[in-house]
Amino acid sequence: MAWVRSRWALDLTEEEPQLGGLLHENTEVLKQQLADYLTTSQSERVKTHYPQIDNKWVVRRGKTMFILGSSGDGKSTFLNSLIYRMAKGGENILYVSLEFSPKEIWEFLAFVHCFHYRKEFYLPSLGVWQRGEAKQDDKVNMEKVIDDIKNRTHVKGVIDVQRFWSLEEIQQHYEAHKESLRYSVVVVDYLGKLNVPPGRPADEINARNSNVSKAVKWTQKEGKFVLISPSQVNREAHKEARKSKEKEKGAYDLDAMYYGSAAQQDTDWRCLCIATMT
């Protein structure tokens, strides 16, 4: 019923008129679409630079990608690695994290960047540094890695890390910098945790779902970037996914996304869902 109410609340006067008509009278449109796939539409594609994903799916600007998983499945770890790979491939990214400060994100990405120097020297993990156990030679080598980031030797794209608490703040920042930074990816960790007006629990849930819907609609209307966000699945969906994994059938599916996640209401399903499971 919540989904029905959300559809009633939409202002359809803002919707752009959609192309429609009889199939047999629109064959020229189909031919043009096929030609576009081979030429101009390739510029709309945004690669993740994970071969396992790019060889199976085409991610285009104006679409939304949800990363599904339960607590501890590695959504944030995968997300940060994905962001790094996309920036390494030349994508400009607006990264909004509600869970981590920009300093924490920068630190994590710097240690991901150590991969480029694995043949030159060994660098201990972030945990070793945090415990104060790194050596002076480690410090010198890590500074070399950081200087490489500064000079953009290996990472050609831009990662703009910000911390906002509302969808409106994200949209305002995007509008202010979209011409200069030309974002092709917008990441929000998490869409389902953006601020909503306080009220009854049911009202707050509907407001959070509405935020997700508005973000997906904004992405589609703007058409200039891919929106990426993790999405938490509930215990029942996680339990079913575990059974599926034990039977070697896979993990989370679209049913888990719809019935057991924060993005369950009115996300219009123009999205790609990537599941993580430990």
Q: How confident is the model at residue 202 (pLDDT cuts 50, 70, 90)?
A: confident
Q: What are the tens digits of pLDDT across the range 226-235? A: 999 988 776 6
The confidence score (pLDDT) of residue 68 equals 81
The most distant pair of C-alpha atoms in the chain lies apart, rounded to whole Å, by 72
The whole-angstrom separation of Cα 14 and Cα 186 is 23
Collect all residues with Cβ–Cβ distance below 8 Å to 20 and sequence separation of at least 6: none
Residue 18 has a pLDDT of: 65
Residue 253's pLDDT is 59
- Contact present, 152 and 134 (Cβ < 8 Å): no
Q: Which of 18-32, 206-220, 249-263 has the highest mean pLDDT?
A: 206-220
What pLDDT score does 235 carry? 63
Distance, CA of 17 to CA of 4 (rounded, Å):
22
* Mean per-residue pLDDT of the chain: 81
Alpha-carbon distance of 55 to 179, in angstroms, equals 31
> Would you state the pLDDT for residue 107?
93
pTM check: above 0.85: no
Q: What structural domains does the chain harbor?
A: 46-275 (3.40.50.300)
Answer yes or no: is pLDDT of 148 > 50.
yes
Average pLDDT over residues 69-93: 89
Q: Tell me: the pLDDT tens digits for 8-62?
A: 455 545 555 667 888 888 888 888 888 877 776 567 889 999 998 888 888 889 9
Question: What pLDDT does 22 receive?
Answer: 87
Beta strands of the chain (E only): which ranges?
64-69, 93-97, 159-162, 185-189, 226-232, 271-275
